[in-house]
Structure 1
Amino acid sequence: MKPADALLAGNYATLPDLVRAYAEERPDHPAVIDGDGMLTYGQLDARADRVAAALQRDNATKAVSIVSTSRNDYVTVYLGALRAGLAVAPLAPSSLPEQIVAMAQDADAQHLFLDADNEQALRAVLSDLPPRRIRLDTPQFEQWLAPEGSKPAPAELKPEMPFNIIYSSGTTGTPKGIVQSHGMRWLHMQRANLYGYDRDAVTLLSTPLYSNTTLVSLFPTMAGGGTAVLMAKFDVAKYLELAQAHHVTHTMLVPVQYSRVMAHADFDKYDLSNFRAKFCTSAPFSGVLKADILKRWPGKLIEYYGMTEGGGTCILVADEFPTKLHTVGRPAEGHDIRLITEDGKPAAPGEIGEIVGHSGAIMTHYHKQPGKTAEAEWFDETGKRFIRTGDMGRFDADGFMQLMDRRKDMVISGGFNIYPSDLEAVLRGHDAVADVAVVGVASEQWGETPVAFVVVRPGTAVTAPELLLWANAKLGKMQRISAIEFRDQLPRSAIGKVLKRELRDEYGKAATRP
Structure 2
Amino acid sequence: MREHAAARPNHTALVQGERRLSWGDLDGLADRVASALQSDGVRPTESVAISGANSIEYAVLFLGALRAGAAVAPLPTGATATQLAGMVADSGARLLFADSTVPPLEVQVPRIAMDGSPGHRALADWLAPSGARPDPVQVRPEWPFNIIYSSGTTGAPKGIVQPHAMRWAHMGRAEAGGYGPQSVAILATSLCSNTTLVCFFPALSRGGTVVLMQGRFDPGTYLQLAERERATHTMLVPVQYHRLMAHPDFDRFDLSSFVMKFCTSAPFAAALKADILKRWPGGLIEYYGMTEGGGTCTLAAHEFPHKLHTVGKPADGHDIRLIDEDGREVPRGELGEVVGRSGSMMTAYHGQPAKTREAEWYDAQGNRFIRTGDVGRFDDDGFLTLMDRRKDMVISGGFNIYPSDLEAVLRQHPSVADVAVVGVPSVEWGESPVAYVVPAEGAPAPEVLRQWANERLGKTQRLAGLRYVGELPRSDIGKVLKRQLREQWIAAAAAS
TM range (shorter): over 0.9
Corresponding position: 1:81 with 2:65: yes
Q: Which amino acid aligns with 2:113?
A: R
Q: Which amino acid aligns with 1:108?
A: G
Instruction: Give the corresponding residue for 1:116.
Output: 100
Match of 1:105 among 89, 92, 99: 89
Task: From the superposition, tell whether residues 307 and 391 of structure 1 become closer, same or farther in structure 2 (CA, over 3 Å).
Answer: same
Is 1:129 aligned to 2:107, yes or no?
A: yes
C-alpha distance in structure 1 between counterparts of 2:219 and 2:290, whole Å: 27
RMSD over aligned Cα atoms = 1.2
Alignment partners' CA distance in 2, 1:107 and 1:446: 42
- The equivalent position to 1:221 in structure 2, one of 185, 203, 208, is 203
What CA distance in whole angstroms lies between the structure 2 residues aligned with 1:314 and 1:462? Answer: 39
The TM-score with structure 1 as length reference comes to: 0.94
Determine the structure 2 residue equivalent to 1:400: 383
CA offset digits 1:161-190 (Å, max 9, x no partner)? 110000111111111111111111111122
| Structure 1 gap ranges (5+) | 1-18
Partner of 1:94: 78
| Aligned AA (1:90) | P
The CA distance in 1 between the partners of 2:101 and 2:424, in whole Å, is 37
Q: Aligned partner of 1:66: which letter?
A: I
| Selected match of 2:374 from 372, 391, 398 | 391
Q: 1:71 and 2:55 equivalent? A: yes
Alignment match, 1:156: 138
CA distance in 2, matches of 1:73, 1:316: 34
Aligned to 2:176: 194
List aligned pairs for 1:255-334, cutoff 5 A.
255-334=238-317
Runs of 4+ in 1 over 6 A off after TM superposition: none
Q: Which string of whole-angstrom CA distances, capped at 9 and with x for unpartnered residues, describes residues 377-408 of structure 1? A: 00000001000001111111111111111111
Residue 170 (structure 1) aligned to one of 152, 166, 172: 152
Aligned residue-pair number: 489
Deviations along 1:321-368, whole A, 9 cap, x unmatched?
111111111110110000000011111321111000000000111111
* Residue 435 of structure 2: aligned partner: 452
Deviation at 1:513? Answer: 10
Counterpart check, 1:461 vs 2:443: yes
Deviation of 1:511 (Å): 2.8
The AA in structure 1 aligned to 2:111 is R
Aligned to 1:10: none
Cα distance in 1 for residues equivalent to 2:67 and 2:365:
38
Alpha-carbon separation, structure 1, partners of 2:380 and 2:455: 29
- Say if 1:112 and 1:130, in contact at 8 Å, map to a contact too: no
Distance 1:350 1:140 in 2: 58
The 1-side partners of 2:228 and 2:272 are apart by: 25
Identity of aligned residues (%): 59
Counterpart-to-counterpart distance in 2, 1:162 and 1:71 = 23
Q: Does structure 2 conserve the Cα–Cα contact (< 8 Å) formed by 1:49 and 1:150?
A: yes
The answer as to 2:400 corresponding to 1:434 is no
Partner in structure 2 of residue 142 of structure 1:
124
Q: Name the amino acid aligned to 1:67.
A: S
User: How far apart are the structure 2 equivalents of 1:511 and 1:365?
Assistant: 39
3-state SS in 1 of match to 2:171: helix
TM-score (norm 2): 0.97
What CA distance in whole angstroms lies between the structure 2 residues aligned with 1:246 and 1:323? 33
Shift of 1:117: 2.3
Q: Deviations over 1:229-268 (max 9, x none)?
A: 0001221111000000000000000000001001111000
- Separation in 2 of the partners of 1:400 and 1:348? 14
2:90 counterpart letter in structure 1: D
Correspondences of 1:346-385 after superposition (within 5 Å): 346-385=329-368
Q: Which amino acid aligns with 1:322?
A: P
Say if 2:221 is the partner of 1:238.
yes
Give yes or no for contact 2:77–2:476 (8 Å, CA) kept in 1: no
- Structure-to-structure mapping, 1:20-39, within 5 angstroms: 20-39=2-21
Contact 1:356-1:388 within 8 A present in 2 as well: yes
1:296 maps to amino acid: R
1:57 equivalenced with 2:35 (yes/no) = no
What's the CA shift for 1:512?
5.5
Q: Is the 8 A contact 2:332 2:379 kept in 1?
A: no
Q: Does 1:411 align with 2:394?
A: yes
Q: How far does the alpha carbon of each residue in 1:111-147 deviate from its partner, in whole angstroms, 9 at most, with x for none?
A: 11111221xx1x2x3xx32422111112821111111
SS at match of 1:117: coil
**Does structure 1 conserve the Cα–Cα contact (< 8 Å) formed by 2:15 and 2:209?**
yes
State the shift of 1:36 in Å.
Answer: 4.8
- Say whether the 8 Å CA contact 1:206–1:232 is kept in structure 2: yes
- 1: distance between equivalents of 2:365 and 2:491? 47
AA partner of residue 389 (structure 1): T
Q: Which amino acid aligns with 2:434?
A: V
Q: Secondary structure at the match of 2:493?
A: coil
SS at match of 1:409: coil
